[in-house]
Amino acid sequence: AQSVAQPEDQVNVAEGNPLTVKCTYSVSGNPYLFWYVQYPNRGLQFLLKYITGDNLVKGSYGFEAEFNKSQTSFHLKKPSALVSDSALYFCAVSPYGVMYSGGGADGLTFGKGTHLIIQP
């Protein structure tokens, strides 16, 4: 069974500084990894995903994430934080690490989330 750990309940960063939200995973085979963001009273918004290829994945709103297979990590990063980045961030893993022909179960397993607070 796969699992995701987000070790920090909350991350505080000053506006304009770089930010990192940590995520580690456990899955059989090669992972498919995702980051989602959740604003108050709203659903999850997709930020980016790693499937294969370049270890540095670029996503929406200037976010990027670095896949590190040896450390089983997929940390979310942004070079310069904005106050509007303040939200709840979720890392997720899919059970499929290889291409499949479709029809299989691929519900995501999520971490517990990290509150990101950007201070003006």
Partner 1 sequence: EAGVAQSPRYKIIEKRQSVAFWCNPISGHATLYWYQQILGQGPKLLIQFQNNGVVDDSQLPKDRFSAERLKGVDSTLKIQPAKLEDSAVYLCASSLRDRRFQETQYFGPGTRLLVL
Chain contacts with partner 1 (rule: CB under 8 A): 4, 32, 34, 36, 41-46, 49, 51, 90, 92, 94, 96, 99-113
- 70/101 with CB nearer partner 1: 101
- 13/48 with CB nearer partner 1: 48
Q: How far apart are CA 61 and CA 67, in angstroms?
A: 19
Are 75 and 8 within 8 A, CB to CB? no
Q: How far apart are CA 106 and CA 83, in angstroms?
A: 34
CB of 106 to partner 1, least distance (A): 6
Q: How far apart are CA 24 and CA 26, in angstroms?
A: 7
The values of phi and psi at residue 61, to 5°, are 60, 25
H/E run at residue 21: strand 19-21
Strand partners, 50: 33
CB of 41 to partner 1, least distance (A): 8
- 46/84 with CB nearer partner 1: 46
- 46/61 with CB nearer partner 1: 46
CB of 80 to partner 1, least distance (A): 26
CB of 21 to partner 1, least distance (A): 13
